[in-house]
Amino acid sequence: LLLASGVTGSGSVGEGVSDHTLQSMVYDTTGVTDMAALAGVSMSFSLSPVEPDVASQYVSSRSGPLAQYGPTLIAFIRHPSSLGPPEAVDVEVWVNPVTKAGEAHVSIVLMRPTCSSARVHLEGSRLMQRGSMRLSCSRDREIMDFAIAELDHWFGKLGAKRISTRSPVAMNHFAGSCALGRCASPTTLRVSGTTNIAVADASLLPEQVWGHPALTLTALGYKAAEVLTGVLV
């Protein structure tokens, strides 16, 4: 919207846009002898129609695949050389319950991209991108490769083997296109070079949130309302 309106933020609008990167793998679990160790990770489950035993499990104990909406978080991974406090993880790992018997579908997300970003700009009416937000630098690829190796080790100890790996895709958690301190004022949220245009969304984030951004953006919205009440008068 800023670019389409001709607002450039002194040339900084659209710089340094980042995203969380998703990669998915499938593990063959037919060689696992201790299936209890997978705790239902590789059970066959269909939403259409829902299998009778799965429906009965939910009705009787409110447990099983129907007790959740979507993926189940199983782990966080941090590269040994990563900086920051102990809670600063690099990769989030989850499994999807909707799968085939004898397989475990696992997804990982790079939560702290270190150097993968892009510049977005307009060419006519088309939004274009220079650079890539998905594993475009060696450090981010190293972190994801380490996470996959850790999963291979964990599943391998159970007798499972990775049989496919999909290419990285976007999570659509875009951030940083008008970051605080670079494009927007930290005290007024006004876009650089303007007097009456402010930003109050994920564009403000200087870097990615280490988790799903929904709650952070809710808090940002409340704080932005407080700030803007005092400055846009």
Report residue 131 as tokens. Answer: 């650079």
**What confidence score (pLDDT) does residue 230 get?**
82
**What confidence score (pLDDT) does residue 201 get?**
95
**What confidence score (pLDDT) does residue 37 get?**
61
Cα(126)–Cα(34) distance, rounded to whole angstroms?
54
**What confidence score (pLDDT) does residue 57 get?**
80
**What confidence score (pLDDT) does residue 163 get?**
96
**What confidence score (pLDDT) does residue 80 get?**
96
**What confidence score (pLDDT) does residue 71 get?**
66
**What confidence score (pLDDT) does residue 93 get?**
94
Mean pLDDT by 10 residues, the chain (233 residues): 91 95 94 68 61 82 68 85 92 81 89 95 92 96 98 93 96 95 94 93 93 93 93 69
What DSSP string describes the chain? -TTTTT--TTTTTTTTBB--EEEEEEEE-TT-S-GGGGTTTT----BTTBPHHHHHHHHHHS-SGGGSSS-EEEEEE--TT--S-TT--SEEEEE-SS--TTEEEEEEEESS-SS--EEEEEETTEEEEEE-SSS-SHHHHHHHHHHHHHHHHHHHHHT-EEEEEPPPEE----B-TT-BTTTB-TTT-BBTT-SS-B--SGGG-SS--SS-SHHHHHHHHHHHHHHHHHH--
Q: If you search the block for the tokens 């895709």, which residue do you land on?
A: 169
**What confidence score (pLDDT) does residue 69 get?**
54
**What confidence score (pLDDT) does residue 39 get?**
56
**What confidence score (pLDDT) does residue 36 get?**
62
